[in-house]
Amino acid sequence: MRIRDATVFLGLLLSILAIAVRPADAQISAAERSLREKSLRRLYEPSPIDPASIRAIARDLEIEDDAAILDALAAYELAWRPIREGPVQIVRERWPVCFSIDRQKGDVRTRHTPELLLLLQARAEAFRAADVADEALFGRLLAADRSEASKIDPISSTRRERRRRRRELLGLPDRLPGTSIEPLELITTVAVDPEILEGVLPVLDEWEADLDAALVARWSRSEAIERIRAASRIELGPEWRRLLTGMERDRAERELAAYEEALVATEIPRRNINAEMIGALGLRIPPLTHLEIVRRHHELAHPALFVEDLRLERLVKEILAADELDERARKDVENLIAATAERLNRLGVAAARQADRSLASRYRHVSDAVPLVDLGETPTLEDDIDAIGDEIELLDAVLERRREFDRLVRPFAGLDADVERRVEGHRAVNASFDRRDRWSRDRLLEALVELRIRLDERNRGVVPDVEIGFEE
C-alpha cells in the first residue's frame, strides 16, 4: 500500500501493525534474502577464478611448470585489478540504488532511473574485460610445459576447460527449462560404460564448441536487450501506466512484452543445438542407451510433458508394495511395464520434438538482429497460423501418449480390489487431463479456422473489422 503525505510517525506505526498481523511464513528469512541477492549480483558482477581453482585446472591439464603457473596467476591478478577498480566498482556503487529484494516475497525490485543505465554499461564492460582476462590466462596455461608422461591433448583439454569457465562466467538463468543442460552430465547419467563415453567424446567436443558460440551470442544479445529495455522504461518514467492514455499505454505494454519475448528467444539457438547433438549421438551408442539419453534430455527440456511418467511411477510402486499381491502378480506388472516402455519412450520423444517445433514457431517473428531493429514487430497472420497449428499437433501427441498410458494401466485393475481402486483413481485423473487438453484443442481449432479466414480475406483484399495476434 502506498501512502502519500503521511507523517513519519504514522508510517512507522503502520509498518509495526503490518508486521504484527503478518503471517509467520509471509516474510522470507534474512538468509534467504541474502542468498537471492548474491545470486542476482552474480549476474552483474563477474568474479575471477580463484588461485586454488587455477592450480586445480593446471593439475587436470597435467602442467608441471610451476614457474609458468605462478606467472599465469600473477598476470591474471594484474589483469583483474583494473576490472575490480573500474567497472565492478561502478556496479557496486550503483547496486543499492537500482535493485532491492522484496522482504515479503523475495522478488527483485528494479528502479528504472539513469543510474541503472550506468550500472548496465559498467556491467557489460566488466564481463567483457573478465572474458579477455580468462582468454589470456588459458593461453598461458596452454603454453606451459606438460608432464612427459602426459597423454592428453593439450589443445582440446585446455579448450574444454576454457569453455567450462565461460559457461560459469556468462551463464544466464533459463526462462525455458533445460536450456543450460551440461552435455557430459546428461550423458554420464545414462552411459557409464567407458567405451561408450570414449565413442562420444568427438561429438561432445563439437557440441561444446557450438554451445560456447551460442552462449556468447545469447549473453551479448541479452545484455543489449536489457539495456534497451531499461532505456525504454526510463523514458516512460515513474507511474507511466497512470499517465499514458489508453492507446499509448497499450503501445508501451506491447513494446515491453516484446523485450521479454526477445529475451526468451535468445535461448532457442542453444536448445536447437542440444537437440541436434543429442540426435547425433545415435550413430555412436547403442539404440536403447541413446533412446534413454534422448528421453532424459527431453524430460529436462519439457518437464510438463512427462508428468504422466511420474504419476505412473508412483502408481506402479504402490501396486508392487501392496501386501495382497503375490510374486506372480508382481512379475506380471513388471513384464507389462517392460513390454511397453520403449513405445512410451518413443511417444514421449515424439511429443517433446513437437514441443520444440511449437516453441520455435511461437518465437519465429522475433528478429535475431542486433541492434534490435524489428524488436517491436508482432507476429503476422502466417506466424499465428503456424504457431497454433504446431500447438494442435503437440496436443495430439500428448493425447496419443496418454491413451497409451491408459491402455498400459488398465490390466492392473484385475489384480486386486485395492489395486483396482488405485488404478481407477489414476485413470480418472488422466481423464481430467484429457478433457482439459481436448477442450484446448477444440478452441485452438476454432481459432485456426478464424485466422485462415482472415488470411484469405487479406489475400483477396478484404479488410477485416479487427486484427488480432496470437497470445498465450
| Confidence band of 14 (pLDDT split at 50, 70, 90) | very low
**Contact present, 176 and 264 (Cβ < 8 Å):** yes
Tell me what pLDDT residue 8 has. 31
Cα distances (angstroms) measured from residue 277 to each of 210, 284, 358: 10, 11, 19
d(C-alpha 440, C-alpha 451), whole Å = 16
- Joined grid coordinates for residue 233: 522504461
What is the tens place of the pLDDT at every residue in 260-304? 888 999 999 888 888 888 888 877 777 777 777 888 888 888 888
| Confidence band of 185 (pLDDT split at 50, 70, 90) | confident
d(C-alpha 228, C-alpha 255), whole Å = 11
User: What value does the mean pLDDT take over residues 212-231?
Assistant: 93
Closest by CA to 88, choosing from 50, 137, 131, 44, is 44
- Provide the residue count of the chain: 472
Q: Is 324 helix (H, G, I), strand (E, B) or coil?
A: coil
d(C-alpha 97, C-alpha 113), whole Å = 9
| Confidence band of 451 (pLDDT split at 50, 70, 90) | very high
Q: Is 146 helix (H, G, I), strand (E, B) or coil?
A: strand
d(C-alpha 237, C-alpha 68), whole Å = 54
Tell me what pLDDT residue 59 has. 93
Cα distances (angstroms) measured from residue 390 to each of 278, 301, 335: 22, 17, 35
Tell me what pLDDT residue 18 has. 37
Q: What is the DSSP letter of 63?
A: B
Least confident of 68-77, 161-170, 245-254, 435-444: 245-254
Q: What is the DSSP letter of 27?
A: S
Tell me what pLDDT residue 365 has. 76
Verify cis geometry, omega within 30 degrees of 0, for the bond prior to 371. yes
What is the tens place of the pLDDT at every residue in 385-395? 998 999 999 99
Residue type, 217: A
d(C-alpha 174, C-alpha 177), whole Å = 6
pLDDT, averaged across the chain: 83
Least confident of 2-6, 213-217, 425-429: 2-6
What is the tens place of the pLDDT at every residue in 326-340? 787 778 777 777 777
Closest by CA to 42, choosing from 129, 149, 168, 201, is 168
Closest by CA to 426, choosing from 441, 412, 440, is 412
